[in-house]
Structure 1
Amino acid sequence: MASKIQQLQSQACQASKFVAKHGTAYYKQLLEQNKQYIVEPPSVEKCNELSKQLLYTRLASIPGRYEAFWMELDLVKQMWKNRKELKVEDAGIAALFGLECFAWYCAGEIVGRGFTFTGYYP
């Protein structure tokens, strides 16, 4: 156990040295590549304004997403009514989608338990 802690400390030290050496250059490069998204002058008021714009833009998009959801649901209902004409490929895609949803649910449960598989908290 002690050797694992020392190994982890060594890796953390190496990572820290790497970030100290290359972090500033990466930061400058990142800002240069994304300068079109930077608002001048940077101020608290501008940040508050942008956060409000984001919030209300997202709220304004809800009706469109709501309509798209019901259109998708109508499509699924229509497919269910015509299930006799359903192709094997469509059924396979639906099964894979259901499996993916279940996998994300399981992953969320594992994350919610603190990345434990048994639910045991030491």
Structure 2
Amino acid sequence: MASKFQQLQSKACQASQLVAKHGTSYYKNLLETNKQYIQEPPTVEKCNLLSKQLFYTRLASIPHRYETLHKELDYVKQLWKNRHELKVEDAGIAALFGLECFAWFCAGEIVGRGFTFTGYDV
């Protein structure tokens, strides 16, 4: 156990040395390549303005998203009406999509419980 701790400690030391050596140049390079996204002057007021713009822009996009949702639901209704013409591939894709939704639900439940599994005596 102590040897694993020493290995972990040496790996952490190597990683911190790497960050100390190359971190500044990476940071400067990152800012330089993305300078078109940086707002000048970088003040608290500018950050507050941008956050409000983002919030209200998202709020304004809700009607369009709602309309898109209705179009998608109408498409699903049409598929359900014509389900006798449904191909095996389409049914398989729908089943996989449903399975994926269920898996994300289960993962969210596990994360919400603090990564604990309930119902098992361990």
> Which bin holds the TM-score, normalised by the shorter protein?
0.7 to 0.9
Deviations 1:72-108 (A, max 9, x none): 1111111111100001111111111111111212222
Query: What letter corresponds to residue 89 of structure 2 in structure 1?
Result: E
Cα displacement (A) at 1:5: 2.9
Could you tell me the TM-score, scaled by structure 1's length?
Answer: 0.88
Matched, 1:5 2:5: yes
One-letter amino acid of the structure 1 residue matched with residue 21 of structure 2: K
CA-atom RMSD in angstroms: 1.8
Offset at 1:60? 0.5
Report Cα offsets for 1:41-83 as digits up to 9, x if no partner.
1111111100000000000011111111111111111111110
Gaps of 5+ in 2: none
| CA 62–98 in structure 1, closer or farther in 2 if over 3 Å, else same | same
Give runs of ≥4 in structure 1 deviating > 6 Å: none
Q: Aligned residue for 1:35? A: 35
Indicate the residue corresponding to 1:108 in structure 2.
Answer: 108
Deviation at 1:6, TM superposition (A): 2.7
Asked whether 1:64 is paired with 2:64, we answer yes
Q: Which amino acid aligns with 1:74?
A: D
Q: CA deviation at 1:119?
A: 7.3
Count residues with an aligned counterpart: 120
Q: Matched residues, percent identical?
A: 83
Preserved CA contact (<8 Å) 1:113 1:119: no
